[in-house]
């Protein structure tokens, strides 16, 4: 049976370690495909088209959107970001579990369109620990970090709608838990309605030769 893949949406507080988690998950298991977003923002140094993002002109992006070829999209700070549908559905049909790493508002749109999508929210063990990690990166001033944490709190609207919360305390354990959660999702009844229907049909029609 070539089972359909699961759609997994991963969000979380910036600094929760999502990037590292994703990288490690993909390194350890080969049944995952990471969706690549499209964006109208310009590539930063070191970024490559088709790796970090698909870099599109605003015209190209709006064409995709208008042709309903985006699973979800949103505008942040004058730039569009969106998830191209084709890659996602192609990989799922191949039996790959497809991971979207997107913001909460986009995630909620995905859930509406794909009710079986699994929504995972990654969080550090505490606000203090999150701050410690951001400070540890050494790329931003304390002022910028504080503003960012406040914004994170503000942007957390809707996190209660996620299916599972993963506390990223230990990267190794967190990866394994994420993998287990996604794999067990394959046992959801909604994926096995055909099996159940056939089972029921067969129970009626077994005869003495069976």
Out of 47, 86, 150, 171, the only residue in the binding site for a second copy (CB under 8 A) is: 150
Residues in region 112-131 near a second copy by CB under 8 A: 121, 123, 126-128, 130-131
- Residue 92 as a binder of a second copy (CB under 8 A): the answer is no
Q: Pseudo-torsion of CA 68, 193, 94, 73, nearest 10°?
A: 30
- Residue 171 as a binder of a second copy (CB under 8 A): the answer is no
Question: Which has the closest alpha carbon to 36: 92, 97, 101?
Answer: 101
Which residues fall in the annotated binding site for ATP? Answer: 12-19
Out of 144, 147, 153, 171, the only residue in the binding site for a second copy (CB under 8 A) is: 153
**Residue 191 per-residue DSSP state:** G
- Residue 51 as a binder of a second copy (CB under 8 A): the answer is no
- We find the least distance from the C-beta atom of residue 156 to a second copy, in angstroms, to be 5
- Residue 170 as a binder of a second copy (CB under 8 A): the answer is no
User: Using a CB cutoff of 8 Å and minimum separation of 24, what contacts does 12-15 make?
Assistant: 12/121, 12/122, 12/123, 12/166, 12/168, 13/122, 13/123, 13/124, 13/130, 13/152, 13/156, 14/134, 14/148, 14/152, 15/124, 15/130, 15/131, 15/133, 15/134
- Residue 159 as a binder of a second copy (CB under 8 A): the answer is yes
82: enclosing H helix or E strand: strand 79-84
Calpha distance 21→113 (Å, rounded): 26
Compute how many residues bind a second copy; rule: CB under 8 A: 45
- We find the least distance from the C-beta atom of residue 112 to a second copy, in angstroms, to be 17
Interacting residues with a second copy (CB under 8 A): 13, 121, 123, 126-128, 130-131, 142, 146, 149-150, 152-153, 156, 159-166, 177, 180-181, 184, 187-190, 192-193, 195-196, 199-204, 206-208, 210
């Amino acid at each position: 049976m070539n089972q359909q893949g699961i759609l997994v949406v991963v969000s979380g507080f910036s600094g929760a370690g999502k990037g590292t988690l994703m990288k490690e998950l993909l390194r350890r298991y080969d049944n995952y495909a990471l969706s690549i977003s499209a964006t109208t923002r310009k590539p930063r140094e070191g970024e490559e088209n088709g790796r970090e993002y698909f870099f599109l002109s605003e015209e190209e992006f709006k064409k995709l959107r208008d042709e309903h070829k985006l699973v979800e999209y949103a505008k942040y700070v004058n730039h569009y970001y969106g998830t191209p549908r084709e890659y996602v559905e192609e990989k799922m049909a191949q039996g790959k579990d497809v991971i979207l790493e997107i913001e909460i508002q986009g995630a909620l749109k995905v859930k509406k369109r794909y009710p079986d999508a699994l929504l995972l929210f990654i969080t550090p063990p505490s606000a203090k620990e999150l701050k410690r990690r951001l400070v540890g990166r050494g790329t931003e001033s304390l002022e910028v970090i504080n503003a960012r944490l406040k914004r994170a709190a503000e942007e957390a609207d809707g996190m209660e709608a996620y299916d599972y919360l993963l506390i990223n305390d230990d990267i190794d354990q967190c990866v394994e838990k994420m993998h287990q959660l996604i794999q067990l999702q394959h046992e959801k009844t909604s994926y096995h309605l055909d099996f159940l229907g056939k089972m029921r049909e067969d129970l009626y029609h077994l005869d003495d030769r069976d």
